[in-house]
Amino acid sequence: MKPLYISVLLTLSILCCNQPKTKGLTTEPDNTDSIASGVKRLEAPLDTTIPQRGIKYKEKRNVNPSNPPIILDLSKRPEQKEFNPANYYSSVEYITLKPGLSKEGKTIDDQVMKVLGITDKYILASGNTNYPAIYCYDRQGNFLYQIKNRDKPTYRSDGIAKLSYRQSVNLRDITISGSSAIYMTMRENDARINWLNLDTRQVYASRRYSLDRPHTSHIINANEYVNHYYYIFNFEKAEFLYSFNTKGDTICHFKNYNEILSDEHKSGRNPESMGDIYYYNDMLTIRQGYNDTIFRVISGKELLPAYIINLGHDRVDIPTAVYRGSDNKLVPQHWMESDHFILFHYARYMDGRAKDYFRTYYDKKQKKMYSDKQEGIFVYIDQNSALADCIPVTRGNLKTGKNLLYATFTKKDMRWRFEDDEFNSLPAKQKEIAKNHYDNLKDDELLVMIIK
């Protein structure tokens, strides 16, 4: 795909995205044993519904004239200005997630390891096993219920689970939109996708699901979800998104408009990978690798262009990136969007390797791009601001939620960070704050820092 410019905005209906062909969801009896005890079981399984054949709708991918996509112009270096979270947020709070309780009131023998999402009401987290459970807490950190138990795949005679890497990845996540969520479960060979209402704790749909497909699944709304996949070494002009509903109907296919590699026997590298997929105010958003357009998933049949990245002559085409090393070209590395800004990091490649790293951000209120002059892995914390009590946080650990930023810390993570030279060069107050939280944190707990 050629670089986009403002003069061709109205041609965006031929942009972006990819996913290999997959069948609709199959119809099999529900296996309620794979649903955790904290969640209400399905009374009438939906698997008795026979999915309709074919695709219900053609894709819609047009510009909204009253809300056209914003151009993020990186064809020249923006003005330098330090990225300071205190310019956007005014308070920090800490929540400690402790292991939950079983039906019998006993502490669950599991370490809370990862936050999967934060909503207005809930914090969703996973445990510390190869096939982790998923737990639901309120916003004060009180354990509410267990969404799913640890998965039980079929085991070999030597006791090792028959579980591929892709299956393991698909079992570890949950995606959330409003009060609805989808997650995967496995018991023996029966893998399923489940739709959960977080408020009622009701699993309102459950269907057979293939965990082997090389895609990730993401909820759009209470009744629709997409399978997302972009693999640069796929040599077919395939779709990158497939959308479905709870009945198993295939709603729509969204084509991949990126350039397709032609030489499948030639080895290469992939510096940009799949891109980014995330939620912005409960709306699924996609930045496809090597594509300059960021889309909002409006529904199961519509994508809306939200941003266009203009790298000018520094933009790399796919064959160059894969086969010729991206020399002297810019390759995106990191993208993160909040209500107030977009952080966008990229690197200049030379001799097949990233040499120079650039950190930029777009201020949504000022409608302006800036180059962040701050060096190092830690986010700058203004010690004279309301955020002075923040634990030092690395850029990679900072995540966005609705009207907030957050970062998580296990005791092991913090202990390892104390040995970092850059950490030890931070102001004494920041190191003291981190040490105090470390002393109060237990080995099986997860500390969540929320900036809002």
Per-residue pLDDT of 385-394, as tens digits, reads 999 999 999 8
Give the span between the Cα atoms of 311 and 331, in whole angstroms: 9
Identify whether 13 is part of a domain: no
Give the span between the Cα atoms of 281 and 338, in whole angstroms: 9
Pairing status of strand 122-126 against strand 134-138: antiparallel
Identify whether 9 is part of a domain: no
pLDDT band with cut points at 50, 70 and 90 for residue 1: very low
- Asked whether residue 143 carries a pLDDT value surpassing 70, the answer given is yes
Instruction: Write down the pLDDT at residue 237.
Output: 66
User: Nearest Cα to 385, choosing from 429, 347, 342?
Assistant: 429
Token pair 């936050």 in the structure block, residue: 115
Q: What's the mean pLDDT in 101-130?
A: 87
Q: Which residues pair with 192 in a beta bridge?
A: 185, 208
Identify whether 18 is part of a domain: no
Identify whether 88 is part of a domain: yes
Q: How far apart are the first and last CA of the chain?
A: 39
User: Nearest Cα to 377, choosing from 359, 353, 352?
Assistant: 359
- The model's pLDDT over 283-330, given as tens digits with 9 standing for 90+, comes to 999 998 888 999 999 999 999 999 999 998 888 888 877 777 667 788
Q: Please state the domain count of the chain.
A: 1
Identify whether 237 is part of a domain: yes
Identify whether 12 is part of a domain: no
This prediction's pTM: 0.84
Identify whether 401 is part of a domain: yes
Range of the domain at 186: 24-451
Greater confidence (171 vs 364) lies with 364
Greater confidence (272 vs 304) lies with 304
Instruction: Write down the pLDDT at residue 338.
Output: 96
Q: What's the mean pLDDT in 136-144?
A: 96
Identify whether 14 is part of a domain: no
Q: What's the mean pLDDT in 231-259?
A: 85
